[in-house]
Structure 1
Amino acid sequence: MAESMPASRGCSLVTGGGGFIGTHLVRLLLEQGERVRVLELDDVPVLDGAEVIRGSVADEAVVHRAVKGVRRIYHLAAHTDLWAPDKRIFRQINYESTRTVLHEAMYADVEVVVHTSTEAILTGRGDPDQSDRTLSSSSRKRKTLGPYCQAKLMAEQAALEASRNGLSVVVVSPTLPVGPGDRHITPPTRMIVDFLNRKIPAYLDCRLNLVDVRDVAEGHILAAQRGRSGERYLLGHENMMLSRLLLMLKEITGVVMPEHKIPYWLALMVGVLQEFVADHVTHKAPMAPLTGVRLAGRGNDFDSEKAVRELGFRQTPIRQALIDEIIWLVETGHVNLPVHSFRKHFGSTEKK
């Protein structure tokens, strides 16, 4: 467990503190005796014990009020869906709002800003700089990965620019988080839910890097305490093929794996078609967002050795994180499985 530091001045602000990672981060900060302020939308529940400011990070007046008097800022708020009917929301929430937070932090005498980026804008171990290289070197690659990745890349660049201008900013890049408590059912959880509910007839066997969401939350605190300004720390753990993940889920639950794999070219064609229909006909999210398909086609591995070495980042076995997630999904009614048939065989680390 990351050590807590005395709240000698102000409190910790968590933007997006009602999200998947944010909720675990707020809980951990409260457990460590921190005073916590959360900036969150009106309809998103927030843990008891935190001060809550309701509003959007896109509202400069709300951000100004939220930042006033804080010691540390954990900036997690983002539009995390890979598709939206209005593509402008990606730039507005993921990029412009980040610039607003950084601007307010610069004039508020904040000790440190931890900016939450994403592995989606990293090239992985196929390049000379391994997991520390962004897609910024190739505008073509940026464009093909869609507006979500473009906006997150610009936000990270703005954060690093702020660090060069004197603000203490540490960037963390989580890979795909798994574990209990994903009330909004983010894309990694949606994939697991659909598999357990037997809604995946076929799959694209792609490379993934999975990490326990509770380790990611702790990694944010470690980044604030030990991270170097202007540096990026990748928070991930196990690289594996999707088929290996599905096999692990089968071993835990008994749910049979889909028999059919689909090639990337076919998944890409389906993604293009579904995206067109979603954009111009249904205006509802496609089952396979084109950005997600293209990210799956990269085939990258990621290495978190830097975070382990410099921050003391710990990595819970993914199998245990999946067990805890499945139990939570069953107990909350997202999937229908006889949880007691496998709970007795495995321990739970939900109270980390």
Structure 2
Amino acid sequence: MRVLVTGGAGFIGSHLVDALMETGNEVRVLDDLSAGSLDNIKRWLNNERFEFIKGDMRDSGTVKEAVEGVEAVFHLAANPEVRIGAQSPELIYETNVLITYNLLNALRDSSVQYLIFTSSSTVYGDAELIPTPENYAPLEPISVYGGAKLAAEALISGYAHTFGFRALIFRLANIIGERSNHGVIYDFINKLRKNPEELEILGDGTQRKSYLHVSDTVEGMLKIFEYFGKGSKTVDFYNLGNDDWITVGEIAEIVSEEMGLKPKFRFTGGVDGGRGWKGDVKFMRLSIEKAKKAGWRPKLNSYEAVRMTVRELLKSL
């Protein structure tokens, strides 16, 4: 296929680009390099099946040009930092909702048949049902980031039903792995390199969430996209996560162990009952039964994914 990957120089996006290129697709990447890096996709830059466009999706003309001649769009471009929503809600709006709106308007008069969007587990908020299935309601995000992802989902559904393309929406757990440049593991490694004696841990350490390695994530996206393509639904939703979960305190222990350190853990206590920050979902585990029925299951559990990620980041950072 001829595909566009928005945010394709970023963490998850570049791994998706690798998989798409390795399976013979023609791939175009649109990225402003604010969070991504050309280093992530440098192996493809001179390949005749690959095209890179440096551009900001807040400019509608750039987006319209990028979708020309492609059959599918994998829309991963976004500001990935949940915490920034409390300080800069306008930035979260622009880099999640506005860019999605610009993309959808560009799709109206294009040849694109499929839109694949990476949403987030944050759309569920503090779910009362765990593991949380795709049909859980009401969706009540507790962060501006989660609200922006839910707004993007709603726009995508409306446009798909109105303008005749099909949309596949993935609600992702915490995705980790090589090339990630934010998140708890990345932060812990950098903090311990600055001070091997003590590790500051945001919150009370009991926050418990599901973590999925990026290799499993990309495999899930492509396998379920293939499954979705054989069906007839205009819009469908799939959780991608793990059957287990792990606490922040346990992650701190794994990072310390892999670095050969025994630091003192200093918990900040957090906000709103031990959360790391305002809007942090304290407990998150997604139901992945629907994804399993589509033929996918993760190879690494949360503990294995965390340990592998620590080793990958220690080599690259």
TM-score > 0.5 by shorter chain:
yes
Q: State how 1:90-239 maps to structure 2 within 5 Å.
A: 90-123=92-125, 126-127=128-129, 130-133=132-135, 137=138, 141-142=140-141, 145-165=142-162, 166-182=164-180, 185-194=181-190, 196-197=192-193, 198=196, 200-203=199-202, 204=204, 205-227=206-228, 228-237=233-242, 238-239=244-245
Contact 1:250 1:257 in 2 (8 A): yes
Partner of 1:345: none
Q: How far did 1:42 drift?
A: 5.0
Contact 1:234 1:307 in 2 (8 A): yes
Partner of 1:314: 298
Distance of 1:23 and 1:134 partners within structure 2: 31
Q: How far did 1:269 drift?
A: 9.2
Q: How far did 1:168 drift?
A: 0.2
Distance of 1:122 and 1:270 partners within structure 2: 19
Q: Percent identity?
A: 21
SS in 2 for 1:255: coil
Distance of 1:232 and 1:318 partners within structure 2: 22
Distance of 2:187 and 2:130 partners within structure 1: 31
Q: How far did 1:57 drift?
A: 1.2
Q: Deviations over 1:98-123 (max 9, x none)?
A: 12212222321212110110001124
Which of 26, 32, 35 is equivalent to 1:41? 32
Q: How far did 1:311 drift?
A: 4.2
Partner of 1:62: 62
RMSD: 2.8
Q: What residue identity is the alignment partner of 1:186?
A: H
Distance of 2:147 and 2:78 partners within structure 1: 13
SS in 1 for 2:58: coil
Distance of 2:130 and 2:177 partners within structure 1: 32
SS in 1 for 2:73: strand
Structure 2 vs 1, CA of residues 231 and 97 (structure 1 numbering), >3 Å: closer, same or farther? same
Output the TM-score relative to the length of structure 1.
0.74
Partner of 2:10: 19
SS in 2 for 1:290: coil
Partner of 1:87: 89
Partner of 1:28: 19
Contact 1:30 1:36 in 2 (8 A): yes
Contact 2:130 2:285 in 1 (8 A): no
Output the TM-score relative to the length of structure 2.
0.82
Structure 2 vs 1, CA of residues 91 and 311 (structure 1 numbering), >3 Å: closer, same or farther? farther
Q: Deviations over 1:161-187 (max 9, x none)?
A: 2333332000001111111122xx122
The unaligned stretches of length 5 or more in structure 2 are 45-49
What count of residue pairs does the alignment treat as equivalent?
A: 295
Which of 232, 244, 247 is equivalent to 1:241? 247
Contact 2:122 2:145 in 1 (8 A): no
